Amino acid sequence: MINDLKTKPMEILLVEDGLTDAKMTIFAVRRSQVHHRLTLMRTVKEATRFLKRDQIFAQAPTPDLILLDLMLPDGCGLDILEVVGQWDTNCHPTIVALTASEDVSLKDRCSSMGIHDFMKKPVHEREFMRVIRDHKKLMIHSTPLLAKPTF
């Protein structure tokens, strides 16, 4: 069973409307050498349908990690947390807010709503790997070499 877990890619849902930020995040994830499959959604509505497995998303995988932009064209990224909150507690993904804001009150609010971590945009490989290391359940998707801090 452990071998199955090591070969299963980390399912990442990236919810980001900015194409430049999305490209930078995807590039950082690819360079990290974490075995993954990434799905990009650009709106709250799309992401909600994906997470609920609605219509065309009926076969959507359950994400291990959600990288969530907070400011989306059709609402706040935090609205997506309501869907995740309805899942069985064993299935909850790690949720990381992507933000350019340094607002401490926003981070406090997000933490109280279930956000596990934050990454400043644009996302860089080193910061992505810090998140993977800090959230141990995500480490099964990385190579043993990546488990060691490089700083």
Residue boundaries of the structural domains of the chain: 2-147
What's the pLDDT band for 147 if we cut at 50, 70, 90?
Answer: very low
**Architecture of the CATH domain 2-147:** 3-Layer(aba) Sandwich (3.40)
The predicted model gives 145-149 an average pLDDT of: 48
Lowest mean pLDDT among 4-18, 28-42, 64-78: 4-18
Placement of tokens 């907070």 in the chain: 70
Kindly list the distances between the CA atom of residue 136 and the CA atoms of 76, 139, 142, 144, in Å, as whole numbers in the listed order.
Answer: 28, 5, 11, 13
pLDDT at 47 over 90: yes
